[in-house]
Amino acid sequence: MNRLLSSSKQPSQVLDLTNIQISYAKDYLAYSENGSLKVFNLKKGKVVFEKKSPSANDRTLGVLTYQWLPDRDILLYFYAKKNPNEVTTVKVYPPKIPAPLVKPQSEDPNHPKIVTKEVPIEPKLEKRVGNPQISELYSLELPNSDEDTAPNDLLNIFDPPSGNEAISAGGTIEQFVVSATTNLMYLNVKNESTHSLMKIDVMKEVSTVHKSGGELIDYIATSDRFGTLYFDSQVGNSHQVIALEGTNRQIISDNVNDRILGIREGKVYIGQVKNDQLVKIKTTPDLVKMTDNPSLQTEWVGSIPFNNDVRWLIGAKDQMVIYDHKTANIVTDGNRVEIKLSRDENYVSVDGAELIQLTKQGTSTLVELRPLKP
């Protein structure tokens, strides 16, 4: 399938499209272009949805992050806008002051009755400054790609409503993962000094499940069965892979070189990384109740580049796919296959079966879909 994805005013050798994601049914493509979120219908060859930023200059506003649901054509995305009520004025009442003692004239002077009256005091007006922006969660439901029905862009109301500001207060959303079976969403939110793990449940209730004090959280993944959250934790020179169930933390690995790669079909995948090389893949069962230091089974040993330029995923056929724009490495049943990739940019579908290739052609970008295989 070949389609012209977009066109720009000026020709460029560098694609200006980022965060390319293909939908569950592989008929829609979501991407960011010049600060806007766009959704492209691959069958019809046209953009069917666009969400622009409310500001041309402020990069903290607009669509912050997005993620397709793993089992249907629904795109979840966070959208930040300025808080219209950032500064509010409230009435502040000082403590009530009793009036001087009063003795009624009709009372017996030897046994006076004491009466007090509260003196009315006018409240003071004080300004309160809140978050400069609020973050909203939207769910974009796409119709069958053969239809011309407009997508349903639905604003999700948090409970409590202050949940919008709670997410904004944390800072930048570093990562956003969804567990389809439990309908739990987790956010790795970073501000200047700390990381916070936040959860949004099926009732759209926002809660902070973990707020680190000096702990760096590099990567998060969620169980596709139980909603357990796994993450890489670093405190100083110590590095651990942690499973978080509610408030209970279990150490999956305390090897300083181990990293969480993901969870699929009841398996937790751990990668051992040394000198920007993935040298080992290990697994352990994804259980309802995890225990400290479970047994890790070695699935593969070798060497694959694993730097900041690579992406990785666990495919539907239990294959580990590690790739950049030039090369894809696929590890299946302990065997590794390397595939050289053509085109300017290359992405892989979440099931590991489809290769999405982008090529710059003058002022346009050509998108091609083809099976990922040698």
Q: The pTM is what?
A: 0.82
How far apart CA 228 and CA 287 sit, in angstroms, is 9
Pick from 63, 96, 66, 92: nearest CA to 80: 63
In this structure, of 68-72, 87-91, 150-154, the range with the lowest mean pLDDT score is: 87-91
Q: Which of 247-251, 258-262, 324-328 has the lowest mean pLDDT?
A: 247-251
Mean pLDDT of the chain: 85
DSSP reduced 3-state for 36: strand
What does the block give as tokens for 317? 């056929």
Choose among 158, 240, 234, 154: nearest CA to 199. Answer: 158
What is the percentage of the chain residues whose pLDDT exceeds 70? 83
**The residue type at 160:** P
| Mean pLDDT (whole number) for 121-142 | 79
pLDDT tens-digit readout, 34-64: 889 999 999 998 999 999 988 888 877 899 9
Tell me the C-alpha distance between 280 and 348, whole Å: 22
Give residue-wise pLDDT tens across range 253-310: 999 999 999 999 899 999 999 999 999 999 999 999 999 999 999 999 999 999 999 9
* Residue 126 confidence (pLDDT): 75
Query: Confidence class of residue 12 from pLDDT cuts 50, 70 and 90?
Result: very low
* Integer Cα distance of 260 and 230 in angstroms: 7
Question: What phi, psi does 167 have (nearest 5°)?
Answer: -70, -40
Task: Give the pLDDT confidence of 134-180 residue by residue, as tens digits.
Answer: 888 999 999 999 998 999 999 987 765 655 666 766 568 889 998 87
| DSSP for 281-349, written as a single string | EEEEE--SS--SS---EEEEEEEEE-STT-EEEE-TTS-EEEE-SSEEEEEETTEEEEEE--SSEEEE-
Instruction: Please say whether the beta carbons of 230 and 243 come within 8 A.
Output: yes
Specify the pLDDT at position 130: 62
pLDDT of residue 112: 59
Question: Higher-confidence residue: 207 or 98?
Answer: 207
Cα Rg for the chain, rounded, in angstroms?
Answer: 27
322 and 312 in contact (C-beta within 8 Å)?
Answer: yes
Per-residue pLDDT, 333? 94
For residue 127, the model assigns a pLDDT of 72
List pLDDT tens digits, range 334-365. Answer: 999 999 999 999 999 999 999 999 998 887 88
Helix (H, G, I), strand (E, B) or coil at 152: strand
Is the model's pLDDT at 108 over the cut of 90? no
